[in-house]
Structure 1
Amino acid sequence: MRRVLLIGSGEVGAKHAEALTRTEGVALVGVADPAPVVAPPTGVPLLAWWETALDRFAPDVVVVATPPGTALVAARAAALRGAAVLVEKPVTLDPADLAPTPLDRRIFVAFQPHFAPGLAGLLDRAPAVRRAAVTLVCRRDRAYYRTWRTRYATAGGVLHQQAIHGMALALRLLSPSHISSCTAEVHRERRWAESEDRITATVVFEDGAVLMVDARVDSVDQPRRHEVTLHLDDGQQVHVRGRNLEAGLGDPLSAPGDLELRRAMYRALPSGDADPRHPSLFPLAQLRRTLEVIDHAYRTARTVSEAGTAA
């Protein structure tokens, strides 16, 4: 039985707490949060500080569900103590923070949709991809933009918070080439926070590969979806489908739920440095490229006002 410590008891932390208590082979031994939004499950002790919790519980696994910045510090501290670590995106907003350290081999990013049907085989096979398109359509209301999500400096934008699942998947399959050019537009209309309502971007890499992103969180009448289309060198297309990629390469009508995907993610965590890595696990080191692409898109984007003119 692997002992798990959860750091962070907010909206996302509560989802992890529920899933962990329903996963065989793991035991949630404690939750650390100085100001929990959601109470831990019955019988699970709550500590204010994660440093104290790491020392007290000596966990085998640590799940970090805190805002950017704090997440990276806590994740590396847990890895230093020998735990396998799963940390929620976006981890940090600054790609430079992810300069590699020896600790990072024990840290993985919590992209549970990457465990959707067929994706492990796709990632293991790593077909040559020349063009990838990421599409996100969802609805975030005013209540979503509160506390740390209010400001871009603490939460990032749509690409950091929502589209990162699909972007990270696409970038794992595109060759690791430098950015040649980027064209992006940011749309801010509701102005409920510093984050945008929609961003479109076309990123061209030096080897000719292209990543296109169309991500919006203000949709009212469109079906919600987060999908990736891959155009392979051999002319084939691969479609990763779902409200949040959860159908993978399979039938959307039989797609696994979030709970099932989270449980698969926990079970895939290695128990030692020598253990084989599951193809769907996302190493922290690979997140740096995703954040570099996101950062480049925002730095080069033009802002479109409510009237539809560039600012």
Structure 2
Amino acid sequence: MRRVLLVGAGEVGAKHLSALAGADGLTVAGVADPCPRAALPPDTPVFASWRTALAALTPQLVVVAAPPGIALAAARDAAAAGATVLVEKPATLDPAALAPQAGDERVFVGFQPHFAPGLDGLLAHPPAIERAEVVLAVQRDPSYFRDWRRAYATAGGVLHQQAIHGLTLALRLLSGEVETVEAEVAHLRGLAESEDRVTADLTLTGGRTMHINAYIDHPGPPRHEVLLRLADGRHLAVRGRNLEAGLGETAAAPTHEQLRRRMYSAVLDAAQEPAHPCLFPLSALRRPLEVIDRVYRDARRVRATDAVAA
């Protein structure tokens, strides 16, 4: 039985606890969180510091479900202690913080929807793609933006926290450097520092393009999808509430627990060569973060006061 340390027992940590409870060969040996909010398994040791927990438990797998910034420090400390590490997105908001360090090869960023049906083959053998469209349409009310999510410095915006699953998948499939960006970021409801909508059109080298349409004030059914137009004229659609249907049927989509268990298995087997194609190494996170920064930097800002002034 392999010992797992969970760093961070809030909203995301609770989802990992649910998935870990049914994972074969894994046991939650402890939780590192000074103030856990998730319901913990009976008799689970709780540590205020991840460093203390690492020394006491010597876990084989560390799952980091802490806010950005904290997550990266915890992940690297765990890797330095010899553990294999799975860290929830986006780990950090600063691409420069991902300059390679010793031990980073043991850290993987967790994008559980990338383990959806068919995506392993798609990532292992990417087709020639001319255009990718990332669509996010969800409803987030003011109560969602509390604690660490209230400030851009600690949480990032819609692209970091909401649309990053689809963005990173699209960018892994779509090669080339960003040449031009036309984007608009709308702050209409006054939800702390976060925005309501981000739309962007990106041109990459070779004439490839990407369109982003991310709404968190959407009144209809939630969806997060990546639509691909291939060079041979075909179209592929990665569908679901959060990509979880992959290339398969929406009605047959795996649960988030099942996707996370697939991810745990892949991370624990990461020492094998080649690594699972759906794994996202820490170093590969830098490119999507740089693209997100470019979108926010070049975007036109629209606020509710602009409409009033007009």
Deviations 1:244-270 (A, max 9, x none): 000000000111111111111111113
Contact 2:183 2:300 in 1 (8 A): yes
| 1:231-270 correspondence runs (5 A) | 231-270=229-268
Number of residue pairs matched?
Answer: 309
Determine the structure 2 residue equivalent to 1:115. 115
Determine the structure 1 residue equivalent to 2:170. 170
CA distance in 1, matches of 2:62, 2:206: 38
CA distance in 2, matches of 1:275, 1:20: 25
CA distance in 1, matches of 2:120, 2:169: 11
Structure 1 runs not aligned, ≥5 long: none
Contact 1:65 1:87 in 2 (8 A): yes
**Which residue identity does 1:164 align to in structure 2?**
I
RMSD of aligned Cα (Å):
1.5
| Structure 2 CA distance for partners of 1:275 and 1:78, relative to 1, 3 Å | farther
Contact 2:6 2:32 in 1 (8 A): yes
Cα distance, 1:206 vs structure 2: 2.3
Contact 1:240 1:247 in 2 (8 A): yes
TM-score normalised by the chain length of structure 2: 0.96
Cα distance, 1:273 vs structure 2: 3.3
Cα distance, 1:283 vs structure 2: 1.1
Q: Partner of 2:19: helix, strand, or coil?
A: helix
TM-score normalised by the chain length of structure 1: 0.96
Contact 1:18 1:41 in 2 (8 A): no
Contact 2:61 2:268 in 1 (8 A): no
CA distance in 2, matches of 1:271, 1:117: 19
Determine the structure 2 residue equivalent to 1:144. 144
Cα distance, 1:38 vs structure 2: 2.0
Determine the structure 1 residue equivalent to 2:86. 86
Deviations 1:177-202 (A, max 9, x none): 22111011011111121010110011
Deviations 1:211-253 (A, max 9, x none): 1100011112x22100001111111111000010000000001
**Which residue identity does 1:213 align to in structure 2?**
I
Determine the structure 1 residue equivalent to 2:26. 26
**Which residue identity does 2:79 align to in structure 1?**
A
Deviations 1:120-152 (A, max 9, x none): 011111111121000000011111100000011
Determine the structure 1 residue equivalent to 2:212. 213
CA distance in 2, matches of 1:83, 1:39: 25
| Percent identical residues | 57
Cα distance, 1:39 vs structure 2: 3.7
